[in-house]
Structure formats: structure tokens, C-alpha cells
Chain A
Amino acid sequence: MKTKLTDIARVIRSKNSGPFELTLDVMFKSRAEFDAFRALGVLTPKLVAGLYGVPESYILKILYFEPANAVKMTLRRPLPSGAPGDSDIYGAQQHAPLMAFEFEA
């Protein structure tokens, strides 16, 4: 059965980590959901690259952080913050593909 990430997460957000990187945080509703999701192992660089339509080399880090029941993904920004053509100076509105993400649980 398909589960949506929004069913088990209470926060899904994006933000700059400096002007050259974008970082995505997913905080799960509880430790149980965090543990279950982590155990599935679905969140791979390949998957995140697919969600955002970028080469896998853009996915710099995927790290689980137990104290916040969270997983963090850091991507290379397609353009540095404020460069000509950039569309999100703070990087705060790049989270939506994760909200649409579904997986087999």
C-alpha cells in the first residue's frame, strides 16, 4: 500500500544552507514513524535526484538526525542565491516535491 510522506511527517521544509546549497528537512510525527521510514531505506540519492529532476551528483548528503526525528537532504543549488535567473533567494519554497512523495510501506 502506498503511504504519502505527508501522512507520517509533521514538517517538510527547504532552506538555503549558505548561498550555494539547498537543504531539505523532513521531521516525522514520532520516533516510531522516523524509525519505520528509515528502516525502509527508500530515501536514496537516486530517488531525491528523481524528485527534483537533477543529476545524482547534485545530492550532496542525506543524513538522519534522531534528536529531531528528522532526515535532512542537502542539494547543490542550480543557481547560487541571488544570481541572475534565481527564483528563490532564501530557498524556502523548494519542498513541494517531497510533499507529493509516496512510497510502498
Chain B
Amino acid sequence: MSAKKEFRILSTTAILGYGYPLESFERGMARKPHLIAVDAGSTDPGPYYLGSGKSFTDRSCVKRDLRYMIRAGVQSNIPVVVGSAGGAGARPHLDWCLEIVREIAREEKLSFKLGVIPADVSKETVLAALRGGKIKPMDQVPPLTEAVVADCTHIVAQMGPEPLMEALKLGCQVVVAGRCYDPAVFAALALIEGYPEGLAVHLGKILECAAIAATPGSGADCAMGTLTEDSFILEALNPVRKFTVESAAAHTLYEKSDPWHLPGPGGELNLEQCSFTELPGGRVEVKGTRFVPTPSYMLKLEGARCTGYRTACIAGTRDPVMIGQIGPILETVQGQVDRILKDEKVGGKIFAHVYGKNGVMGALEPLKTTAAHELCIVIEAVAPTQAEADSLCGIFRSTLLHYGYPGRISTAGNLAFPFSPSDMPLGKLFEFGIYHLMEASPTALFPVTVEELG
């Protein structure tokens, strides 16, 4: 192998915009990393962000995080790679992030080669793959239909390391990519250098959450990974944290359904022979992870579609009589509201989230009675239009407010509202419609363009 003896990767923060202490970053830079990388995205915040094209992170926080990375990276000639730009990684998110990068270049008077890689997949491409039998659902996901594809506002595919490798080979000093498989931004340059794919991707899998995998964990601190030919070493860059076997191994469980086999684009990480060993100085060495290619290259598609509009209302009750029969009261009010809706031909559905009873766990809540002295009721109204959602929420709220339930002692009003206005139109409601695997080329969907800044 022509690779250097070791390859050091500085991961700045768990999600771009979550922040990191400058001291940690500088400690990382003092170690002369070969790569500065960060994961900017997740599906965790729910389908709204992919569907609406908005970022779930704050613009000024993202700009702050990027400024130090880009300035230091360009000045020291260390590539900076950002994946899943803008959170959900579709074109509007990518453009949002690119605008920030260009602003930084102007403000800092930096000249560099910027690589841009969108991750959007056209509906035509998805439909052709669907008709060709090249799409299959992830576990627990319904089979894809043409109607769902047509409804999605944005569809992205999680790119593997290959498109990022292309951009880096073109000499890009900063690469900003749309939706990525989280480890890809950390692994791409190491793969060009010839390091083993299993180790590079497993290291990326841990570094994508930066110091979350250390102890005490933090989503807002840096971490460093050092790759060698037969292992990688994790280390924290803040003296208050360290990596332990438990913290590193525990992270391998995080948000995964099977820690032994971690699937990604083109193959899976196999951890069956993986070992974690503690080294002095709060470091952990990991060995033995293998990358096992799948017979055909599969990419994960994500798509969100608008399925209606939402209005919410927050209210509380402190009445023991009402609390004692909250279940039947809500059912009766629901019945009354349903009749009004039918008469007025208003569509939609109400969900009452009753905090203090089962608001957090809903159907999964094992405790069937509540001992709380007060309850919070969040009324969620969902309807085909915003006007209908507003009407539905308003009717439910006013009916519940003045409902004369059996045994009622307090007759002036059943609910305490913390806010005026009480009802909050939340706009479009998005749901994940596509969470499927598609057989595809590793690079064809992800065209690299290069832009000279400065």
C-alpha cells in the first residue's frame, strides 16, 4: 500500500451547527490532520425538513462552525468535507449551505476550489427503477407506489464515498455534498489513500457523531480519529472527555437495529471480529472491522411528501374531576366534533396528546391511569387545507373548553391556555413516503461540479 503510515481525521461536531469549543478545534489542528470533516444531517428531526426544503439547524450557528473549519483548512491546505448539507441534503438545503460557504470565502478573502455534489434523484429515475424492479423497501416500510413518488417534494439518495472521492481527486479543497451516508465524508479521502474500507467506514461511523461517542459525551465537541493499515484510534480533543471501550462500543449500537452488521451503500460493515482496546491517554483502538460488498450496489432513497396541514393548541387542566375522567371526556368531545365536521363537510382528524397520562408514549404507554394533579393537552388537528385544520382545532378547543362533563364543579371553562392566540397553524404536514433501497451506480446520480472561489 502506498498510503502514509497514518491518516488523521478531525471531526468537529456531531451535526454542523451544533457548535464546538475553539480550544478543541485548535488542539485538533495542532495534530496536523489530513482531513477536516463534518456530517451536517440526519432524518432524526423528522420528515418536515426534507419535505419543506428547510434546514433544521440555525444559519448563524452553521456559519460559525464552517468559518473556522474552512479558514483553517484552506490556509493549511487540508481538505474540508461537509456531508448532508443543510440537514436533509436536498437541493434547497445544499444551496443554503453553499451560500454560507461563499459568504465565508468572501468575508475571509479566501481562494479555493469548491466541489459541489447534489444528491437529488429525479422522479423519472425513481419511477424507472420502480418499474424495473430495482427498488425494495427498508424493513417495516410499505412497498413504494408511483403515487407516492409523484407526491414527494424532494427525493435524495445517500451517496457513498465514491462521489466524494471524485471531487477530492479533482483537487477540491472544500467539498460540500447533499445527502450522504454519514461515514462517507470521513472515509472518502482515506480510501483514496488506500486504507482498508472496513476500518475507514467504521471510523467514519463513529466520527460522524464526533464527541457523542466519548465519555462524558457531547454533541458539541470535536474528536479525532487516526487510521492505520490495520486499526483506527479514537481520541477526544477536550481534556474533560475520553474514549473508553464502553463508550466507543456503545456508539456502535446507537440508532442501529443490528450492531454486528451495519449496512450502507454498496455493502455492510461486519463487526463480528471487531475488537476494542483501551490505550493510555483516553484513547481506544479498534481492529477487525470488515467491509463486505453486496452483490449489487444499493443506495438508500429518502423522500417526503405533503399529506395535509396541521394546527396545534396547547392547553392545561388542574381540575381533579376532569382529570379523573379525561379519557371519556375526550372521546365524547371527539364525537360531538365529528358530527359538526360531518354537517359542515370539513375533513380532517384530531389527535389529543395528553401529557401527564400518555402524551410521551401514546399507544406504547403501559400505565393506564394517571396520578398527576395537572395535565397538559396538546390538540393536534390535521386536515387537507390549513383553513380546515384551523377550523378543526378551533372547534375541538372550544367544545372541550365548555363541555359540561358529568360531575363538573368548575363551570367557567375546562382549560388553561398559556398563550393568546391559543391555536398555532403549523403549515404543511410532511411524512416520509420513500425510505427504500435502489439499485444504482455509486456515482451516476451524484454529478460533481467544481467552482473556483476568490
Do A and B actually bind?
A: yes
A40 CB within 8 Å of chain B: no
Minimum CB–CB distance from B230 to chain A (whole Å) comes to: 18
Which size bracket describes the interface of A in this complex? Answer: 35 or more
Chain A residues numbered 76-99 whose CB sits less than 8 Å from any CB in chain B: 76-90, 93-94, 96-97
Q: What is the CA–CA distance of A20 and B366 in the complex, to the nearest angstrom?
A: 21
What chain B residues lie within 8 Å of A88 (beta carbons)?
Answer: 360-362
**Contact A61 B259, beta carbon cutoff 8 Å:** no
Number of A-B contacts (CB under 8 A): 140
The 8 Å CB contact of B257, one of A60, A82, A90, is A60
Number of interface residues of B (CB under 8 A): 48
**Contact A65 B249, beta carbon cutoff 8 Å:** yes
Interface-facing stretch out of B19-27, B110-118, B427-435, B446-454: B427-435
Q: What is the CA–CA distance of A70 and B353 in the complex, to the nearest angstrom?
A: 33
Contacts A20-B139, A85-B362, A96-B361; A68 near B259 (Cβ below 8 A):
yes
B363 CB within 8 Å of chain A: yes
Known: A67-B275, A84-B351, A87-B359. 20 other contacts (CB 8 A): A11-B250, A15-B254, A17-B256, A18-B138, A23-B257, A54-B363, A60-B257, A65-B253, A68-B246, A68-B250, A68-B252, A72-B258, A78-B362, A82-B432, A84-B380, A85-B380, A86-B362, A89-B46, A93-B360, A97-B366
Interface of A toward B, CB cutoff 8 Å: 11, 15-21, 23, 25, 27, 51-54, 60-61, 63, 65, 67-70, 72, 74, 76-90, 93-94, 96-97, 100
Interface of B toward A, CB cutoff 8 Å: 43-48, 138-141, 245-246, 249-250, 252-260, 271, 274-276, 307-308, 310, 349, 351, 353, 359-366, 380, 382, 429-432, 435
* CB-based closest 5 A-B pairs: A82-B46, A68-B249, A67-B249, A85-B351, A74-B257
